[in-house]
């Protein structure tokens, strides 16, 4: 069978990496299925990408924002027209079930339409000056050249969260997708090319984090680095970016919690926990990896969750009946199984369900793990503190709401949390006191919509929010304050005294 070979996209042309080296990408549900060969780029390819972005910048910046928006509208329509193809490509390259892959592509469509609307706003504001005959206003301006470094778990949605606001603000960019999921980003970039994004405005350089990602964080021509991935890598990205004073926006890990109160709808909570913990095989930064359950309903909740988890159909996500796919690769599989051992041996929690790799029949060709439930988990155990990024959930008992909030907040991350309760007082108290960037009532920790800020507190990020217009424009634009003095004299702020007439 012919091996599909893909190339970098630099200055409007699809080009081989300079070294000619390629990386094989295989379907995690079936390693026999070769998705394609993708560039193993290095510093020299990043150099070419950044140079193209620098060259294209003045013209793109000078293109009126409503005109930039027209291209984004076209792009959104192309994504919509090709949704099925892009979704099955995504399932094949990263394993999430087709229904979820469709959701991922839909999020990119939503983000693109939504951001295009901003082309006719991009609002700054005017405000009175403290001096007479003087006008004051501020406007957004592009930041310049952006490096976008993205992970594999939302291979089209996350690139779109970064790319669309970057483009509407008038920036040019180089994107480096995760080595496990380059195809979905290629699909996005090809659609952008077709929609009419000019040469050099978007460049894609593929390869490993160290060889192709790191140079994007150190290049002196780059002004902004927008990164989504693990907290450990994010810290390296931040350190590298700081050396050349780059703006750096980080979206990192989570250890999200569902709180289940004794008055909560237990069927709904079990459904929410199943979706939150085992959807995308638990590989979402917002995955519900902990459930803190009131001790009065603990046993009942565990029974309901176990019943749901046991019935999940696991397999190749292209099969419509499958509800949970594989994990992304061998290293992830090993890491998750290692955490199962930690839970059993070191932490001393009870392995209530699952915990094994599936190896029967077709499973042997992929990286499949059973949905795994730990019970009798104590809040300080490693499985309740560290991000496992797999289909593993820890069920922790609590005494009351205060106890639940304390346990919920006592981790180093702060992305998403939720509560199941029928009591509005409890819901509002948790809403106020959970120190996370996202909070849900009577829902799982999953389900962000593009027009609300996305991001987290503590070890999850460095204070930025993606999605939503104001917050993402704040990442991808810089304010310029403008003073227009029409008094005909040199007026001095804070020094000239304005006398109020009597």
Please tell me the distance from the alpha carbon of residue 222 to that of residue 174, in angstroms, as a whole number.
9
- Stretch touching ligand ADP by CB under 6 A, among 37-45, 158-166, 176-184, 390-398: 176-184
Q: Is 462 in the site for ligand ADP (CB under 6 A)?
A: no
Decide if residue 431 touches ligand ADP (CB under 6 A): no
Whichever of 176 and 365 has its CB closer to ligand ADP, that residue is 176
Q: Is 408 a residue that touches ligand ADP (CB under 6 A)?
A: no
Of the pair 151, 170, the CB lying nearest ligand ADP is at 151
The answer to whether the CB of 394 falls within 8 A of the CB of 377 is yes
Q: Choose, by CB under 6 A, the member of 52, 78, 101, 149 that binds ligand ADP.
A: 149
Q: Applying CB under 6 A, which part among 203-211, 306-314, 350-358, 455-463 lies near ligand ADP?
A: 203-211
Q: Which of 79, 43, 80, 54 is nearest to 199 (CA)?
A: 54
CA distances from 274 to 92, 148, 192 (A): 23, 32, 36
Q: What is the helix (H) or strand (E) element at residue 49, kind and residue range?
A: helix 43-62
> Could you say which of 233, 375, 445, 477 contacts ligand ADP (CB under 6 A)?
233
Question: Count of CB atoms within 10 A of residue 313's CB?
Answer: 10
**179: contact with ligand ADP by CB under 6 A:** yes
Q: Any contact of residue 209 with ligand ADP (CB under 6 A)?
A: yes
Q: Cβ distance 290 to 255 under 8 Å?
A: yes
For residue 486, the SS3 value is coil
Strands 416-420 and 372-375 turn out to be unpaired
- For ligand ADP, which residue of 17, 213, 272, 371 counts as binding (CB under 6 A)? 213
Q: Is 146 in the site for ligand ADP (CB under 6 A)?
A: no
Binding status of residue 475 toward ligand ADP by CB under 6 A: no
Note the helical H segments in 323-412: 330-341, 382-385, 401-409
Residue from the set 184, 185, 187, 217 that interacts with ligand ADP by CB under 6 A: 217
**Which of the residues 234 through 253 are near ligand ADP (CB under 6 A)?**
236-237
The answer to whether the beta carbons of residues 472 and 146 sit under 8 Å apart is: no
Tokens 């009577």 correspond to 442
Structure tokens, 77: 């329509």
Distances (CA, A) of 418 to 41, 296, 366, 373, 465: 41, 19, 33, 19, 19
Q: Is residue 155 a contact point for ligand ADP (CB under 6 A)?
A: no
Catalytic residue among 118, 251, 323, 370: 251
Of 158, 163, 173, 214, the one binding ligand ADP by CB under 6 A? 214
Report the nearest approach of ligand ADP to the CB of residue 232 (Å): 7
> Considering only 22-30, 121-129, 206-214, 373-381, which stretch makes contact with ligand ADP by CB under 6 A?
206-214
327 phi and psi angles, rounded to 5 deg? -90, 170
Report the alpha-carbon distance of residue 274 to residue 270 in Å, rounded: 6
Exposed/middle/buried for residue 317 (C-beta within 10 Å: 0-12, 13-18, 19+): buried
Q: Which of these segments, 57-65, 207-215, 291-299, 476-484, binds ligand ADP (CB under 6 A)?
A: 207-215
148: contact with ligand ADP by CB under 6 A: no
Any contact of residue 210 with ligand ADP (CB under 6 A)? Answer: yes
- The DSSP element (H or E) to which 396 belongs, if any, is strand 392-398
Residue closer to ligand ADP by CB (options 174, 266) is 174
Least distance to ligand ADP, CB of residue 158, Å: 10
Matching residue, tokens 């013209």:
59
- Binding part of the chain for ligand ADP, among 55-63, 122-130, 228-236, 315-323 by CB under 6 A, reads 228-236
State the number of CA atoms in the 13 A half-sphere of 118 facing the CB: 29
Q: Is position 189 an interface residue for ligand ADP (rule: CB under 6 A)?
A: no
Q: Is 251 a catalytic residue?
A: yes
Is the Cβ of residue 149 or residue 174 nearer to ligand ADP in the bound state? 149
Q: Do the beta carbons of residue 445 and residue 419 sit within 8 Å?
A: no
CA–CA separation, 100 and 105 (whole Å): 9
- Phi then psi dihedrals of residue 243, to 5 deg: -65, -25
Out of 285, 370, 387, 398, pick the active-site residue.
285
- CB-nearest residue to ligand ADP: 209
Q: Report in angstroms how near the CB of residue 454 gets to ligand ADP at its nearest.
A: 16
Tokens of 450: 């593009």
Which of the ranges 43-51, 174-182, 192-200, 337-345 carries the binding residues for ligand ADP, by CB under 6 A? 174-182
Number of residues forming the site for ligand ADP (CB under 6 A) = 18
Q: Is 93 among the catalytic positions?
A: no
Dist CA 400 CA 292 (whole Å): 10
The Cα–Cα gap between 248 and 412 comes to 20
Interacting residue with ligand ADP among 141, 230, 385, 462 (CB under 6 A): 230
**Is 150 a residue that touches ligand ADP (CB under 6 A)?**
yes
Name the residue among 329, 305, 324 with its Cα closest to residue 314.
324
Contact region with ligand ADP (CB under 6 A), list: 99-107, 134-142, 144-152, 438-446: 144-152
Q: Which two tokens stand for residue 182?
A: 């380059």
Q: Round to whole Å and give the CA distance between 281 and 101.
A: 13
Between 148 and 291, name the residue whose CB sits nearer to ligand ADP: 148
Residues that bind ligand ADP (CB under 6 A): 149-152, 176, 178-179, 208-210, 213-214, 217, 229-230, 233, 236-237
Which residues have a catalytic role annotated?
A: 251, 285
């Amino acid at each position: 069978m012919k091996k599909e070979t893909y190339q970098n996209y630099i200055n409007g042309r699809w080009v081989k990496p300079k070294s000619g080296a390629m990386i094989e990408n295989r379907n995690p549900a079936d390693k026999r299925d070769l998705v394609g060969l993708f560039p193993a780029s290095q510093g020299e390819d990043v150099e070419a990408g950044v140079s193209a972005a620098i060259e294209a910048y003045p013209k793109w910046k000078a293109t009126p924002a409503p005109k930039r928006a027209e291209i984004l509208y076209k792009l959104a329509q192309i994504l919509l027209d090709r949704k099925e193809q892009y979704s099955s490509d995504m399932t094949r390259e990263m394993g999430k079930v087709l229904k979820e892959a469709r959701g991922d592509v839909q999020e990119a469509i939503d983000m693109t339409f939504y951001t295009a609307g901003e082309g006719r706003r991009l609002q700054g504001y005017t405000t009175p000056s403290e001096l007479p005959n003087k006008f004051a206003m501020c406007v957004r301006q592009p930041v310049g050249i952006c490096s976008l470094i993205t992970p594999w778990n939302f291979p089209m949605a996350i690139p779109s969260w970064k790319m669309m606001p970057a483009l509407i603000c008038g920036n040019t960019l180089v994107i480096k997708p995760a080595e496990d999921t380059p195809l979905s980003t290629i699909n996005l970039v090809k659609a952008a090319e077709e929609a009419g994004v000019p040469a050099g405005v978007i460049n894609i350089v593929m390869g490993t984090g160290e060889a192709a990602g790191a140079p994007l964080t150190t290049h002196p021509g780059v002004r902004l680095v927008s990164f989504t991935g693990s907290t450990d890598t994010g810290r390296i990205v931040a350190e590298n970016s700081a050396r050349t004073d780059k703006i750096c926006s980080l979206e990192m890990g989570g250890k999200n919690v569902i709180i289940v109160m004794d008055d909560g709808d237990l069927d709904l909570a079990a459904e929410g926990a199943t979706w939150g913990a085992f959807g995308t095989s638990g590989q979402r930064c917002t995955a519900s990896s902990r459930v803190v359950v009131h001790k009065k309903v603990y046993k009942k909740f565990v029974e309901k969750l176990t019943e749901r988890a046991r019935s999940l159909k696991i397999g190749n996500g292209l099969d419509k009946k499958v509800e949970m796919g594989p994990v992304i690769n061998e290293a992830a599989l090993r890491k998750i199984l290692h955490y199962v051992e930690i839970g059993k041996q070191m932490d001393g929690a009870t392995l209530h369900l699952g915990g094994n790799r599936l190896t029967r029949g077709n499973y042997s060709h992929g990286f499949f793990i059973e949905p795994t439930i730990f019970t009798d988990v104590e809040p300080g155990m490693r499985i309740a503190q560290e991000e496992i990024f797999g289909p593993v959930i820890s069920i922790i008992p609590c005494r009351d709401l205060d106890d639940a909030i304390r346990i919920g907040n006592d981790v180093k991350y702060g992305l998403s949390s939720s509560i199941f309760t029928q009591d509005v007082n409890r819901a509002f108290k948790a809403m106020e006191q959970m120190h996370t960037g996202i909070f849900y009532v009577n829902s799982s920790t999953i389900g962000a919509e593009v027009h609300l800020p996305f991001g987290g507190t503590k070890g999850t990020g460095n204070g930025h929010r993606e999605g939503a217009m104001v917050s993402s424009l704040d990442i991808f634009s810089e304010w310029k304050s403008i003073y227009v003095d029409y008094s005909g004299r040199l007026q001095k702020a804070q020094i000239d005294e304005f006398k109020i007439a009597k």
